[in-house]
Structure 1
Amino acid sequence: MTARGAVFLAALGDDAERLHPEILAQMRVEAESDSAAGVFSVAGSRFGRLTALGYPVVGPGLLVTRFARDVPFRIDTVAGRSRSGRATLAARREFRFPGAIQHISDRLTVTERPGILHNVLGVRGRVEMLEECAVTSEGALRMRSRAVALRVGRHRITLRGILRLDVDLVDGWDDAEQRRTIAMRATNPVLGTVLEYRGWYRHAEHTDRDAGAAPGSGQYE
């Protein structure tokens, strides 16, 4: 059996002990398949349907064409091992926007570099990212992009300069509400914030009846 947070524990090494006790305990739970649900106070892209222009390049499971507040969401994960034995974590995030349900998927893999994870995003895996894991002074997990590349056929193009994408994610703990918190922002030097979400969630065994309530009514996109 694999711990649900094995990929993060492996990347952090000894620094994992600095995580908030609740986060650390949840990461150590043995669960190869897992799910969590919560509500984003804000989620999506302010560029709306213009974001869909990138679909032919990156494919499904990456672009979000809606922006809304109080968005119920669900995340399903599968922890495992790569062929070389390194910890992996595949995730599928479901955003229940009013009138539409959209998804983002990715697959994290531990690298040989301490603190660095390799992330393949989207169903077709055309976007790759190296992310640095660290622990904040409050005991939250922080992940920041160090390099982003786009795969087009056999070519791998590193996104630099005005094409650069910076991703910053903080996964913390709310002592008052006894639940996880999440905040992610992806920015570009020219366009500013291209995708963001922030809110709270609980794993399936701790989910409140209000988590994931009022799902959207649209088709999967």
Structure 2
Amino acid sequence: MKSIFHLALEEKFHQLHPELQKKFGITSQQNIMVLGQGRMTEIRGTPLMLRPFLNIGAKDHVIFGERGKEVPFTLENYAYEDDDGREALSYIRRFFFPYAIRGFDAAMYYDEQEQAIVDRLGKSSLLSTVMDVDVTKEGGLLMHSRKTKVLDSLSIKGPRTSLYEHYDEKEQAFRVHVHVEHPIIGTVLMYEGLVHTEILPITSNHIPDRGILT
């Protein structure tokens, strides 16, 4: 069985750095998870007066209004088979601010019709983005959103998302950069930082319902 990133990248998957191949190559048959811990050196974006409105999505783990530097961060990736029998991968992100813990969660699967990865956002999965995936010359992973949908059907003009991740040999950790940009207000959310990861064994009992923590 191939992981969703292997399906999306096809032969380019082998051009990824070996550590990225390990991280993005996990499947539901392996009974393993990826646990990441680190710090986001900076989290910024959205004009100050608009940030409180972002916390409307905080309960659904879609977006949040807090910003800061050197923010502790954790990541959990679980590969599982979703309700439609597709190979899927959950992203459970936690940002530890001084007065709040915020989530930014997603569940991804490979869509054969789109020939791309679909990123279903938040606990409700109300919003989803179709993500094109590529490999950089340095063996890093690059993702760009192609379009945004509501309830997997209605296309809307939403923010554009890009993600870049590469392995830092000196730090023996992953460097992550995520940028969400709106055509009118500019940067909605940008965070970047260093994440140390390890691959751990799990059983099916450890996998959160539908791959997303509630």
Q: TM-score range by the shorter chain?
A: 0.7 to 0.9
Supply the AA of the counterpart residue of 2:166.
G
**1:52-201 matched pairs, under 5 angstroms:** 52-53=52-53, 60-113=60-113, 115-151=115-151, 156-160=153-157, 164-201=158-195
Q: Relative to 1, partners in 2 of residues 1:193 and 1:15: Cα closer, same or farther, differing over 3 Å?
A: same
Q: Relative to 1, partners in 2 of residues 1:99 and 1:57: Cα closer, same or farther, differing over 3 Å?
A: closer
Supply the AA of the counterpart residue of 1:167.
T
* Counterpart for residue 218 of structure 1: none
2:5/2:25 contact within 8 Å kept: no
Q: Distance in 2 between matches of 1:49 and 1:63?
A: 16
- When structure 1 is superposed on structure 2, of 93-102 and 41-50 the one drifting more is 41-50
1:118-176 Cα distance to aligned partner (Å, 9 max, x none):
1110111111110011111111111110001234xxx954222xxx3110101111122
Q: Distance in 1 between matches of 2:55 and 2:150?
A: 13
Q: Distance in 2 between matches of 1:83 and 1:63?
A: 25
1:19 and 2:12 aligned: no
Q: Distance in 1 between matches of 2:56 and 2:99?
A: 23
TM-score, normalised via structure 1 length = 0.78
1:74/1:93 contact within 8 Å kept: yes
Runs of 4+ aligned residues of structure 1 deviating over 6 Å after TM superposition are none
2:58/2:64 contact within 8 Å kept: no
Supply the AA of the counterpart residue of 2:74.
R
- 1:63 partner SS: coil
- 1:204 partner SS: strand
Q: Relative to 1, partners in 2 of residues 1:59 and 1:93: Cα closer, same or farther, differing over 3 Å?
A: same
Q: Relative to 1, partners in 2 of residues 1:158 and 1:114: Cα closer, same or farther, differing over 3 Å?
A: closer
The alpha-carbon deviation at position 52 of structure 1 amounts to 4.5
1:94-128 Cα distance to aligned partner (Å, 9 max, x none):
00112211001111011104750111101111111
1:36/1:75 contact within 8 Å kept: yes
Between the two proteins, what is the percent identity of the paired residues?
22
2:57/2:64 contact within 8 Å kept: no
2:23/2:34 contact within 8 Å kept: no
* Counterpart for residue 205 of structure 2: none
Unpaired segments ≥5 residues, structure 2: 201-214
Unpaired segments ≥5 residues, structure 1: 207-221
The alpha-carbon deviation at position 58 of structure 1 amounts to 8.7
The alpha-carbon deviation at position 187 of structure 1 amounts to 0.3
- 2:125 partner SS: coil
- When structure 1 is superposed on structure 2, of 47-56 and 174-183 the one drifting more is 47-56
1:58/1:122 contact within 8 Å kept: no
Q: Relative to 1, partners in 2 of residues 1:27 and 1:80: Cα closer, same or farther, differing over 3 Å?
A: same
- Cα RMSD (Å) of the superposition? 2.6
1:111/1:117 contact within 8 Å kept: yes
Q: Relative to 1, partners in 2 of residues 1:115 and 1:85: Cα closer, same or farther, differing over 3 Å?
A: same
Q: How many residues align?
A: 197
The alpha-carbon deviation at position 181 of structure 1 amounts to 0.9
Q: Relative to 1, partners in 2 of residues 1:53 and 1:156: Cα closer, same or farther, differing over 3 Å?
A: farther
